[in-house]
Structure 1
Amino acid sequence: DERLTTWRDGYLPEAVLGFDTSPDVSWAGPPAAPLPESVLIPTSGSTGSPKFVRLCESGLAANAAQIIAGTRMGEGDRALVHLPLYFSYGLSVLTSHLLAGASVVLSTVSATRPQFAEQLAEYSITCLPSVPFSLEMYRRTRLFTRDLPDLRSVTTSGGPVPPGLITEIAPLLQARGIGFWAMYGQTEASGRISVLPPEEFRSAIGSVGYPLPGVRVWIQEPDTNGVGEVHVSGPGNMLGYATSRADLGATDQPLADLDTGDAGRLDAGGRLWLTGRRKRIAKIYGARVSLDDVEAQLAEHGVRAAVADGDGITVFTETDSVSARDLERAMGFPARSIRVLNIQAVPRTPSGKIDYGRLTELAGG
């Protein structure tokens, strides 16, 4: 696996675990001094980029405590951890519940399978973490019409939820006394940043809520509508990025000012509303992916450019012989996450750069 080789060669680990065939390793030996990092999480999903977020134990613990306080979590809760643990949201579900003295059930069952609902009932699950794609699966499978007497909360993060989907599932949740918690987070902040409590989600559809206790959110360089760069400060902020073993231990303090790369505004009540990404990052069903990495890795397949498109990506080619499924397999992406558009020539700006604004219009049209 080329991605695994890139990571192995960049970080020289002692061992590589969790794969059917473990590659040979060239361990660089133990560090001269203890490293401040506890976890390295990739920033670009499955694109193979060697760039990782450096997180420390104290930051992860602080963010877990903030989530507990912000979501009223207690010892009686039990979460279904079905999101990957290399996904910061999935990891934060695990750490927050364990710190609260609650319990978790680890699952690899897809939300599309009948066994998914069965395990919710069998294990008396009280909290169901979700991303927008899984919420859509719950709707299609009519999950919230099932008899789930113990389910008390549904949380969502990893991207914007379509308002139409929220308004459709809201009555079902409300009728069963199930709270819906809209959340916002980033790997660079150890997981969660803000949360909208259930009692407000129908009156503030689209908001990602209030900063968690101990987290400060501010808008830098706002325009006349109050929309600007979303910045975050808190104990869960990352130590920085790493692209190789040489970057480990470079700093041992969290960033005082995390530029999230998102644009948004704060309303008069202090709730955060996101308006979009400022950088070339897409989300594949909740997982952040660098569009530049996608273009570089799919160039040999005839892809000339890529833009974000909802919960997927639209790629542009100048040949009609490119298969979307072949591209998804090449990237390790889920089915139906890539759409292929064939155009005569990729539009460019006067300076010769790819005109991504025009491509985004073409993808939307």
Structure 2
Amino acid sequence: MLTVPEMILLLPSLLCALAGYVSASLSETSDLTDLYPPLWKECPGQLSDYSVEDGVYIIDPWLYTERMGMYKILITLTAEYFERFAPNNEANILWGLPLQHGWQYETDRLTDPTNETKCGRQNGDPTCISVDSWWACKNYYLSVLPFFGAIEAGVLGISSDQVKVLPPPKDQIHFCYDVTDCRSSFPAAMTKWKMFFQQIKKPSKSLDDLLKYLWDAHVTSLEAARYIFDNRYLYISKPESDFAKSWVKAVDYIAASRFETTLKKTTRFQKALPPRLLKHDDHLLSINDFTDSQNRILFLLDLLNKMDDASGHKLLTWFRNFMKSKLLRKIVNAIMEEGIKNYNITPQELDIIFSQYI
């Protein structure tokens, strides 16, 4: 078993892979709209696109297009604050949220994993989001809470009592449905999101500054839902549940490095994520219908999770302290960017390199 110092020496190369060791780089495109999430054009782009009851906008976050619409509104209304970093809203660091949700939709991670309903399936309602989906429930905390946090910060220009979201068909106690409810149920996460949206309005803030506030809110939201939906693991294969657990852990490290969740960088990163749900007979580094990059990312996510557990989570504590330095964050992100461009090691070679550690 590796000691913590040995893990520290191994961590930089591992993080390079986690941030997007993608042998095929993102192809150049003259139209950024080609990178937008699925069904982006069909999603609501303003509050008036939703239904209204007694002057209150009603959103159904258990429909993909309506949940994605919340992201679309945030991306649109915050565009002006990110124009100083890049044109055409490409540098809006909120892109990571809808792109991740779009990946979940494309890979069937929002469908009913129990197969008791047709939710999310082509022979039912393909835009339905299942409350039995681990990914969907976790994403709720990264869609509804940011949206309500933006309302509190004044980004949407409406009062906190003018929007409500509909409950799922069961387990309603695990969610919140309006600004007041979410503020009461998840005060830490709501405070972090409100703070982020307040900070983006300040022209003196650098992109690195704003990434700190974004990732703080992101991690706090996931922490609020840390153990609530563990029973959903029973509905999916062990390889898929292992990946889900590893993914949550990896987010802690990616957050500490303040990875730039802009449109192009997030799209490039997601090319290495699994293109479908993992099945019971899928084995790390040898999934035939996955690319080499996708096989590698699964292996490395699993390795990082094991290293973190073996260290008693001391590795994460060390890395967070290490990443408090702006210079070191720049170095780590530069290494990760270079890795995206040049990394071409095969899964088989990767297995040989790291086999002694697992």
Fold-level similarity (TM above 0.5):
no
Higher relative contact order at CA 8 Å, sep ≥6: structure 1 or structure 2? 2
Which structure has more helix as a fraction of its residues? 2
Q: TM-score, normalised by structure 2?
A: 0.26
Q: TM-score, normalised by structure 1?
A: 0.25
